[in-house]
Amino acid sequence: MALCITKLIVSTLLFTSTLFFTANSHTFSRSLLPEELGLEKEKLSHLHFFFHDIVSGRNPTAVRVAEAKMTNTSATAFGLVVMIDDPLTEGPKLSSKIVGRAQGLYSSASLNDVGLLMVQNYVFTEGKFNGSTLSVLGRNAVFSDVREMPIVGGSRLFRFARGYAQARTHSLDLKTGDAVVEYNVYVFHY
Ligand SMILES: *[C@@H]1O[C@H](CO)[C@@H](O)[C@H](O)[C@H]1NC(C)=O
Ligand SMILES: *[C@@H]1O[C@H](CO)[C@@H](O)[C@H](O)[C@H]1NC(C)=O
The protein residue whose alpha carbon is closest to atom 13 in ligand 1 is 69
| pTM for this entry | 0.85
Residue pair 88/98 in contact by the 8 Å Cβ criterion? yes
Going from the N-terminus, what domains does the chain have, and what CATH number goes with each? 43-189 (2.40.480.10)
Q: How many residues does the chain have?
A: 190
- pLDDT for position 6: 52
Q: Is 16 in the pocket of ligand 1 (CB under 6 A)?
A: no
Residues with pLDDT less than 70, the chain: 1-24
Q: What would the pLDDT profile of 21-75 be if each residue is shown by its tens digit?
A: 555 578 999 999 999 998 989 999 999 999 999 999 999 999 999 999 999 999 9
**65 alpha carbon, closest ligand:** 1
- Which residues are within 8 A (CB) of 96 and not within 5 positions of it... i.e. 6 or more apart? 50, 89, 90
Instruction: Give the span between the Cα atoms of 156 and 75, in whole angstroms.
Output: 41
Report the residue among 125, 128, 133, 156 best suited for mutation to probe ligand 2: largest number of ligand atoms under 8 A from its CB: 125
Q: What is the structure's pLDDT at 24?
A: 57
pLDDT score of 1: 47
Judge whether 164 and 188 are in contact, CB under 8 Å.
no
The response to whether residue 130 sits with its C-beta less than 6 Å from ligand 2 reads yes
Q: Whose CA is nearest to atom 2 of ligand 1?
A: 72
Per-residue CA distances from 30 to 26, 27, 122 (Å): 11, 8, 31
Q: For ligand 1, atom 1, which residue shows the shortest CA distance?
A: 72
At 5 the pLDDT is: 53
